[in-house]
Amino acid sequence: MRPVYMITGGITKFAKSLPEKDFRRTVKDAFDYALADLPGLGRDQIDGSVCSYFSDHFTRQLMAGAMVQDYLGLNPKPSRRVEGGGATGGLCFQSAWESVASGRMEVCLAMGFETMGRVNTWKGNEFIALASDTNFDYPVGGFYTGYYAMMVRRHMHEFGTTVEQMAKVAVKNHLNALHNRYAQRPAKLTIEEVRSSPMVAEPLTILDCCQMSEGAAVAVLASEEMAQKLGGVPVRVSGVGAGTDAMRMADRPRGEVILLPHEEKDPYLDLKYPGVHSFRGGRVAAKLAYLMAGIKDPRLELDFVELHDAYTSSEIQTCEDLGLCRYGEGGSFVDSGAPFLPNLDYGLAFSGTKGWRPLPVNPSGGLLACGHPVGATGLMQAVFAFWQLQGTIGKHLGSGVLQLPDPRRGLIHSHAGTGTYITVSIMEKV
Amino acid sequence: MDMDAKLAESEEGTILFSTDPIIVKHHYEIDYLHSYAQDSPFFAGLTKKKLMGSHCSACGRRYATPRGHCMECGEPTEWFELPLKGRVHTFTTCHFGGEAFLKDTPFTLILVEFDEVDTLFLSRLIGTRPGEVLIGMQVRARFLRNCKFKPTDVYFVAV
């Protein structure tokens, strides 16, 4: 395998519904943005593409990816679709990475979208729930927020995690998004407002959950030679990892914790893992990505994380899977203030870092506030991470508030099902 | 050749939500011939008020939600009867959901754990009021008399 670089990216504004433009046109907008941001790159230099979108039910158009390829003027170059639930975008990014790393392509376009506003929210919930076992799970009351509510209820039982800690995640991500013009639901919130918003599935309120979204995102990956030739400020994709787990969370086995390089067995002797409280696939994805990127201690070697916070609870669970803190410490990690941006006033009191170095999690606002147009989401994270590492947040978001001072290395994390497909990719400043 | 050929007109119209852009209502409905295939004995069990799990005689794993082959070792599993009493492993009450289930809200979902069984079973818990459900609470299975051949033919109540 050879080194792979992200050389440009683009996204559209995310919104509940974008009826003025169809999926082809939204991807085209994101694509044109990416091309305009790297003038050396034209369609001629793109060898092929990978397209990501989750649900044919939402598109009501099979082979929609082929129509995007066509609309972007990329025929007759190679293209394919990847799909893996919520992780569709992350899988697409890694599929494009493989195309370049393997030498099959010099420049590969990863492009994703979702059109969730074409049905009402309750019908959309049904479509999403069809990504759970349709023999045993879906008919019982198939509803992803219900599944995640059960998972976090067990997390609370095992580790003492609180709804206030979850609410702090909502406060953080929505406030960060106030400085991100692409975000769907930016807001200044209080813990009380999160808790008193309408209950969806106990203990998750509507502000603990991401929304239905439409929008598109693209990332262009290239070999070292082409990255140098095309100019701009490339960012290296230095590690990729992916993991899986049983579709039915009822089937999750209970064994020993899979350890990351900086962890020891001792704290986990009594923990039945992963149970329904943790995501084993996320832990494996992180482990593989850290191995490839040469990361020994993610707490010290990452400067920011863009992770799949479809729910406030899953951000807490995922921080543990990624080894940003120990299993069981996700709530305390939030209380400490470590995942918050140091330059923003969240109206919260923090307990101090307790040895945790500040490590912003979802500085963009994450899925909770930016939105979750499924096939675009994992690519949106890549674009925000790319801009962070380039130091161009101010240029792209219209405000430099979210720009971290000289970040060297970031992590992006994409997540499907109840932890069924998960990807982790590491991006580094060159 | 009929140079004046003309399609017959109809009285049917199109439901419009907007004219700029034009947004029309598109109806889509489908009936599947869905086979439970190797999971069928579980649904047959429901008609006899039995909960059927699977057991792997190769590695000893016991699954509360059945599967034809063992997730750990890949060997074929055998059917066994689950106890009709278990405990709440975790729970939630849904106040919103997919369209098909909105009429049921609020409804309570539980994952049931059984003694000597390695995995869990998703079901609904009925008859409890807010605040009454607890992790570890004893529950027992009840069955619909008029079987629908759906996993909701079994549900749980507090013991």
The 10s digit of each residue's pLDDT in A266-306 is 999 999 999 999 999 999 999 999 999 999 999 999 999 99
Cβ neighbourhood burial of B143 (10 Å; 0-12, 13-18, 19+): middle
The alpha carbon torsion through B143, B147, B149, B151 (nearest 10 deg) reads -20
Q: Which of B21, B34, B65 is facing A19, going by the closest CB pair?
A: B21
Q: What is the pTM of this model?
A: 0.97
Token pair belonging to B86: 């278990």
Query: Are A414 and A276 in contact, with CB atoms under 8 Å apart?
Result: no
H-helix segments, A160-219: 163-176, 191-196
Q: What is the pLDDT of residues A169-210, one digit of tens each?
A: 999 999 999 999 999 999 999 999 999 999 999 999 999 999
Q: Which of B94, B151, B152 is facing A201, going by the closest CB pair?
A: B94
Token pair belonging to A68: 């995007």
Nearest CA distance, B8 vs chain A (angstrom):
28
Residue B25 confidence class, pLDDT cut points 50, 70, 90: very high
End-to-end Cα distance, chain B: 79
Contacts of B18 in chain A (CB under 8 A): 19
Nearest CA distance, A272 vs chain B (angstrom):
12
Amino acid identity at A65? G
In this complex, do A143 and B120 lie within 8 Å of one another by their Cβ atoms?
no
Percent of chain A predicted with pLDDT > 90: 98
In this complex, do B26 and A252 lie within 8 Å of one another by their Cβ atoms?
no
- A62 part of contact set with chain B, CB < 8 Å: no
Locate tokens 């082409």: which residue? A226
Instruction: Tell me B39's DSSP state.
Output: G
Return the closest-CA partner of residue A5 out of A92, A97, A94. Answer: A97
Overall residue count recorded for chain A in this entry: 430
Query: Are B143 and B113 in contact, with CB atoms under 8 Å apart?
Result: no
Query: Are A245 and A419 in contact, with CB atoms under 8 Å apart?
Result: yes
Return the closest-CA partner of residue B109 out of B133, B135, B96, B91. Answer: B91
Conformation bin of residue A232: beta by default, left when phi > 0, alpha when psi is -120 to 50? left
In chain A, positions 112-131, which contact chain B (CB-CB < 8 Å)?
Answer: 120, 122-123, 125-126, 129
Q: Residue A154 contacts by C-beta under 8 Å, 6 or more apart in sequence?
A: A275, A276, A277, B89, B90, B135
Q: Quick check: A248 pLDDT over 70?
A: yes
Conformation bin of residue B109: beta by default, left when phi > 0, alpha when psi is -120 to 50? beta
In this complex, do B72 and A252 lie within 8 Å of one another by their Cβ atoms?
no
Locate tokens 């309120």: which residue? A205
Phi, psi values for residue A204, rounded to 5°: -90, 120
End-to-end Cα distance, chain A: 18
Q: What is the pLDDT of residues A31-83, one digit of tens each?
A: 999 999 999 999 999 999 999 999 999 999 999 999 999 999 999 999 999 99
Token pair belonging to A250: 């009822």
Q: What is the ipTM of this complex?
A: 0.96
CB pairs under 8 A between A and B: 127
Average per-residue pLDDT in chain A? 97
Distance, in Å, from the CA atom of A399 to the CA atom of A401, rounded to the nearest integer, reads 6
In this complex, do A146 and B94 lie within 8 Å of one another by their Cβ atoms?
yes
- A157 part of contact set with chain B, CB < 8 Å: yes
- Spell out the SS3 assignment of A61-91: CCCHHHHHHHHCCCCCCCEEEECECECHHHH
Distance, in Å, from the CA atom of A115 to the CA atom of A335, rounded to the nearest integer, reads 36
Distance, in Å, from the CA atom of A253 to the CA atom of B64, rounded to the nearest integer, reads 12
Distance, in Å, from the CA atom of A428 to the CA atom of B68, rounded to the nearest integer, reads 45
Residue A354 confidence class, pLDDT cut points 50, 70, 90: low
Q: Quick check: A254 pLDDT over 90?
A: no
Distance, in Å, from the CA atom of A254 to the CA atom of A6, rounded to the nearest integer, reads 38
Locate tokens 């990729």: which residue? A240
Q: What is the pLDDT of residues A102-135, one digit of tens each?
A: 999 999 999 999 999 999 999 999 999 999 999 9
Q: Which of B102, B135, B152 is facing A140, going by the closest CB pair?
A: B152
